[in-house]
Amino acid sequence: MKYTYDFDPAAYLTAGTVGKPGQRTFYIQARRGRELVSFLTEKEQVRALGIALDRLGDEILGSNPLLSPKDDDLLIRDMSLIEPIEPAFRVSQLGLGYDADRDLCVIIMQGINEDEDEESPSARICIPRDQMRGLSKHIVQLVAGGRKVCGNCGRPQDPEGHFCPQMN
């Protein structure tokens, strides 16, 4: 398949947000050489990617005892979004796989097609297995950085106040 954007492998991959908690916009961003591309995503897509990366890492190590776990803490670096943040497309579907021959995690993104006469935009981003956990840990922190959740109703609390239906 021919991808609109093909980062094989990516030199940099991160997820990040722009805006205040409760009004954040989520992005996935990849760079290879001078090419830097941002993809607009939903919070739940980013959360699901983080969980899937962690599970995939566990499965890979569990199914192949000859592979050694990498020291993920060494790979956590500044994972901030890089300016300019201009999304190439809005992600509609995310897929995750593993290329065992090259020991690479493969993320496939399908975009929303604005023009019915053209193919939907797509991206393939490959990262070494040892970067999977670092990205997964970063995503957990990113998603947790949102609004606090009410202990009674489970809904997000706004800084201006919160109407809790359970307190009524």
Mean pLDDT of 8-17: 94
Range in 4-8, 52-56, 154-158 the model is least confident about: 154-158
- Residue (of 92, 149, 160) closest to 120 by Cα position: 92
**Residue 159 confidence (pLDDT) above 60:** yes
Domain range annotation of the chain: 5-167
What is the distance between the alpha carbons of residues 115 and 93, in angstroms, rounded to a whole number?
Answer: 17
Q: Which residue has the higher pLDDT, 118 or 110?
A: 110
Mean pLDDT of 137-152: 84
How far is CA 12 from each of CA 49, 92, 97, 147, rounded to the nearest angstrom?
16, 22, 18, 28
pLDDT more than 90, % of the chain: 57
CATH assignment of 5-167? Answer: 3.30.2450
Pair 49, 26: CB distance under 8 Å? no
Helix (H, G, I), strand (E, B) or coil at 110: strand
What confidence tier does 75 reach under pLDDT thresholds 50, 70, 90?
A: very low
What is the distance between the alpha carbons of residues 124 and 126, in angstroms, rounded to a whole number?
Answer: 7
Q: What mean pLDDT is reported for the chain? A: 87
Question: Distance of alpha carbon 110 from its chain centroid, rounded?
Answer: 14
Query: pTM surpassing 0.75?
Result: yes
